[in-house]
Structure formats: C-alpha cells, structure tokens
Amino acid sequence: MNIVHCVWNFTLDGVAHQVVLQRKPFASYEILHNGKQVYKGEPSWLVLGLSHIFQVEEHKFEVGAVPGPYLMDYVLRVDGNFVYLNKSQEKVFSKNIAKNLEYQSDWEKLAKILGLKYQPHLESDYAFRHRIVGYFSKFPVVAGVGSKPMGNVSVPGFFIGIQHYPLDDEKIEQIKKSDSLKQFFKSVKTHQAHLEIDPSFTSIFVPFQGKINEMGRSTVIQDFLEMITHFLYPPHQKCQGNDCKNPFSKTLNFVIINGSPWLMCADCIAEIPNEHKKMEQEYRQAPLNLGRGVLYGAAVATIGAILLALSIIFFDRLAGVFAFFMYAYVFMAMDKAKMKRTLISVVLAGVISIFGVMFGVYLGTVGYALKEREIIFSLIELWNIFLRLIQSEVFPQMVFINIIGMVLYGFYGLYAQRQYLKQAFNPKVEVIKNLNRPE
C-alpha cells in the first residue's frame, strides 16, 4: 500500500515520458522514470520532504515534495518548467507552490554565481534546507539557511563556513582586528560576535534583515569569501581523518560532518562512528569536577549577595533583578570551572544561588536598618532581623524569583548541552558526490 503515489505522463521532444513518485508507510520515497528506478531513499519513520534531480539525456528532471497550504504537494519540473498532475493542480499550484519554489531557485542561481553546488539538507524543514557546497578558490565551503539562538529566541539567517590551513592564535587575532573585516561587518550591519574563527574552520552567521533577495545574499556571501580568503591558505589536499593510513589518497571525498566541510578517504569516513564513540566514552569517564565547580559557584554567589544587598540598601526595587540573574551567573561560573553539566550540577547551582539570595537579602536588610538608624549593631539585633526575615514573605519571594531563573536558564542549559552532545557523539555525515576537486 502506497501513501503517496503520483504519476506524471507527458511528451518531450516527441518522446513519451512517465515519472512516478511513490512512498509506502514508514519508508522513504522512490522515483521511477519509464519504469526504471532512479531514486530510492533510506527507510525512515519520518520523511520531511524530497528534492531529487536526475538527468535524462540533455534534460534536467527535478522531483520535489514542497509544503503546500495544508499538506505536502508533489511537483515535477523539467528544465525548470512545471509538469502538472492535472488541470486542478495547475490552477492552485502556480499560486501556492511556485512562491515556495522561487526561494529554492534563488539558491540554485546563487550556486552557479559562486561556482558551487546546490545541495539541499533534506532532513531539515523546507525553509531551512537550502544549502550550497563546493570549492571556492580551493577552499571547501558550505553555506545555507539556518538559525542561531539569541537570548530566548532563535533568529533565522544564513551561514557561511570555510575550511582552511590551521591558524595560530596570533593570526586569528590579526584577522579579527583587521580593517577589512570591520568594514565588512559595517556594510552588512551585523555584529562581529557572529563570526567564529577556529584554527582550521571559520564561520559566520548573518541574520535576515527584512527581505534579502538572491543578488543581495550572493553579494554578502561572495564578499565575505573573497575578504576572508585573503588572510587564509587552502587546506592541503589530503585526508583529514584522524591517523589516516593513506592521507594522500586520490579518492578524497567532500564530506559534511555536523555542517562543517571535510576532505576524507572512504576508510576514515567509515571510522567516524567509532571515533565519536570513543569521544563519548572519554566524556562519560571524565571527572565531574564537583569541588572546583562548587568553589567557583560559591564565590560568584557571595559577590552576587553583596551586590544584591547594596541594591536593597540604596535602590530597593532592583533586588528582584539580582535575584533573577543570580542563578545564571552561578551556573556560568560552574561552567567556567569546567564542571560537567548534569542534572546534579543544575540543581547544585540552584541550591548555591538560593543561599546567595538569602544571604544577600539578609545583608541588605541589616544594611538598610543601620543606614536608617533603626537598630544598633549587636549580635542580638542581627539575630532578631534573621528571625523576622524567616517569618516574613521576603525570603520566599526572593527564592521564588531565583527558582524562576533556575527553571528558565538551568534546565534550558541542560537541554542545550544534551542536544549538543547528541550531535557530537552521533554526527550527521553526508558525502557530497559529483564535485570537481581543485587542481
């Protein structure tokens, strides 16, 4: 039983053609041309879409699954022209589907302008699957649509990644302080914080600013590549796998691992799962660094308590703000101490920050009373203030505000960490075929 079964019958140059797109439950798509299989995807419980191109003599056939108003719409284009399943599809199709495909066409044109290949990321939602890959002046490059967390929101935009010969720290600082880079950021109206330069890989994220057309996007990507490659050297044309036995193999593959381009031989590609399993074992066996984390967290909580006390003494209304962010700073301090981020560390950071808030409220109340000359400094007065705070609503309110910060920041941080580790230990590996290696 097929849950998708589309048949296109048409004539091209006097020759009859039939293209069939079908899919069975819990399986991937299959494409037939005149009864011959031209595409068979991997079995999957969830299929987000399809974009497959194949050649029939001098004609380019493209079969795709594109989001429609309610469900997926299945399309066929031959040499860029739509072939409709029926007349009713033609009426609706031109309004709803063509608009979605226009964006894809922009990226296809962009790939031609830059001498790259349009290679959509089929496991992503349609809006985020557009991607171009290849060699730019002998540098492995990948660019496409993506998003980046900024505060509590995820901002859409496009990214550019380029691999290069390893850089030292001095060279990285020289690039970051260069006038040409500053001029680039000024022209695209984005911040330098979106640029990441690692020894062998440089990437930039450019948030969408209103409607960016194809030529505008092309200009930004091309300008960045031409500017940044001025400071870089292309990587050696050798396998970049760990401990490769044949690094200068003539059969190197262009591989994308978790969004980054690499050059690898077939043997090293096959070893990627084993390499990352070793990484996972090393991480699991690494020490928790509990003592160092507690020490860093307690130090920051003490500083936060003093600031909280000063805010109560002199401003009063800012006390809640300090209580809210107390957890975040304790959490970051424990990360700085390289304490392994687990459920234990998240809860422990909460306990430390709550004691920091309570200590800050106590110090602030004592300081305010002394400032207003409501008490005379003595151990008995200090003890009485502590008893009154326990019986009042001040402690519970401040602790409640701190717990809100813990839920919003701590558990989100733990979730983000687990997503990162999941990707790191189970990387997505794509071998890009039909790319010409630079001479």
Question: Is 0.85 topped by the overall pTM?
Answer: no
| pLDDT reading at 177 higher than 70 | yes
In a domain, 348, yes or no: yes
Give the integer Cα–Cα distance in Å for 77 and 64: 9
Q: Do 298 and 414 reside in the same domain of the chain?
A: yes
Which DSSP symbol is given to 25? T
Nearest alpha carbon to residue 309 among 377, 357, 260: 357
What pLDDT score was predicted for residue 438? Answer: 66
Which of 384 and 16 is assigned the larger pLDDT? 16
Beta-ladder partners of 36 = 33
Share of the chain above pLDDT 70, in %: 85
**Mean pLDDT lowest for which of 210-214, 325-329, 403-407?**
210-214
| pLDDT reading at 211 higher than 60 | no
Its domain, for residue 165, covers 126-274
Q: Could you give the maximum distance between any two Cα atoms of the chain, in Å?
A: 104
Beta-ladder partners of 212 = none
Give the integer Cα–Cα distance in Å for 238 and 79: 37
Residue 213's pLDDT band (cuts 50, 70, 90): very low
Does the CA dihedral 412-199-119-148 come out positive or negative?
positive
Residue count of the chain, please give it. Answer: 439
Residue 375's pLDDT band (cuts 50, 70, 90): low
In a domain, 280, yes or no: no
Q: What mean pLDDT comes out for the span 25-38?
A: 88
Give the integer Cα–Cα distance in Å for 154 and 148: 5
What pLDDT score was predicted for residue 346? Answer: 82
> How many CA within 13 A on the CB side of residue 236?
8
Q: What mean pLDDT comes out for the span 393-414?
A: 77
In a domain, 398, yes or no: yes
Which of 6 and 436 is assigned the larger pLDDT? 6
Q: What mean pLDDT comes out for the span 145-157?
A: 72
Residue 364, token pair as written in the block: 């602030």
What pLDDT score was predicted for residue 47? Answer: 55
Q: Do 77 and 211 reside in the same domain of the chain?
A: no
Q: What's the Cα-to-Cα distance from 307 to each of 114, 318, 405, rounded to whole Å? A: 53, 10, 17
Q: Do 250 and 130 reside in the same domain of the chain?
A: yes
For all residues of the chain together, what is the average pLDDT?
81
- The burial class, CB within 10 Å (0-12 / 13-18 / 19+), for 388 is exposed
Residue 345 identity (one-letter amino acid) = S
Q: What mean pLDDT comes out for the span 11-23?
A: 92
Q: Do 362 and 247 reside in the same domain of the chain?
A: no
Beta-ladder partners of 162 = 141, 202
Q: Do 339 and 199 reside in the same domain of the chain?
A: no
Split into its structural domains, the chain has a count of: 3
What pLDDT score was predicted for residue 282? Answer: 86
In a domain, 344, yes or no: yes
What pLDDT score was predicted for residue 35? Answer: 93
Q: Which of 274, 302, 327 is the last residue of a domain?
A: 274
Q: Do 150 and 267 reside in the same domain of the chain?
A: yes
Most confident of 62-76, 273-287, 388-402: 273-287
Q: Do 294 and 390 reside in the same domain of the chain?
A: yes
Q: Which of 55, 85, 115 is the last residue of a domain?
A: 85
Most confident of 18-32, 79-93, 99-113: 18-32
In a domain, 121, yes or no: no
Q: Which of 274, 302, 324 is the last residue of a domain?
A: 274
In a domain, 106, yes or no: no
Nearest alpha carbon to residue 64 among 54, 430, 109: 54
**Long-range contacts for 116-121 (Cβ within 8 Å, ≥24 apart)?**
116/141, 116/143, 117/432, 117/434, 117/435, 119/432, 120/51
DSSP H or E segment with residue 39: strand 36-40
Give the integer Cα–Cα distance in Å for 140 and 264: 12
Q: Is 317 helix (H, G, I), strand (E, B) or coil?
A: coil
Which DSSP symbol is given to 354? H
What pLDDT score was predicted for residue 90? Answer: 59
What pLDDT score was predicted for residue 319? Answer: 64
In a domain, 321, yes or no: yes
| pLDDT reading at 94 higher than 70 | no
Residue 125's pLDDT band (cuts 50, 70, 90): low
| φ and ψ at residue 435, rounded to 5 degrees | -110, 135
Instruction: Find tokens 């989100």 and name the residue.
Output: 412
Angle at which helices 266-285 and 411-425 cross, to 10°: 140
**Mean pLDDT lowest for which of 88-102, 131-145, 341-355?**
88-102
Q: What's the Cα-to-Cα distance from 170 to each of 173, 174, 175, 217, rounded to whole Å? A: 5, 6, 9, 31
Q: Is 269 helix (H, G, I), strand (E, B) or coil?
A: helix
Nearest alpha carbon to residue 319 among 363, 259, 269, 350: 363
In a domain, 247, yes or no: yes
Share of the chain above pLDDT 90, in %: 18
Residue 157's pLDDT band (cuts 50, 70, 90): confident
Strand segments, DSSP code E, in 208-291 are 253-257, 260-264
| pLDDT tens digits for range 349-369 | 888 888 888 888 888 777 777
DSSP H or E segment with residue 150: strand 139-150
Q: What mean pLDDT comes out for the span 421-426?
A: 83
Residue 312's pLDDT band (cuts 50, 70, 90): confident
Give the integer Cα–Cα distance in Å for 167 and 176: 12
- What residue spans of 123-178 are helical by DSSP H? 169-176
Q: Do 150 and 29 reside in the same domain of the chain?
A: no
Residue 214's contacts (CB-CB under 8 Å, 6 or more residues apart) are 106, 107, 109, 110
Q: What angle do CA 100, 208, 127 make, to 5 degrees?
A: 30
Instruction: Find tokens 């922009």 and name the residue.
Output: 106
Q: Do 265 and 321 reside in the same domain of the chain?
A: no
DSSP H or E segment with residue 139: strand 139-150
Which of 189 and 272 is assigned the larger pLDDT? 272
**Mean pLDDT lowest for which of 170-174, 201-205, 316-320, 380-384?**
316-320
Q: Do 255 and 342 reside in the same domain of the chain?
A: no
Nearest alpha carbon to residue 145 among 110, 177, 112: 110
What pLDDT score was predicted for residue 163? Answer: 92
| pLDDT tens digits for range 48-91 | 567 788 889 889 898 887 766 556 778 898 987 888 887 666 55
Give the integer Cα–Cα distance in Å for 61 and 8: 12
| pLDDT reading at 266 higher than 50 | yes
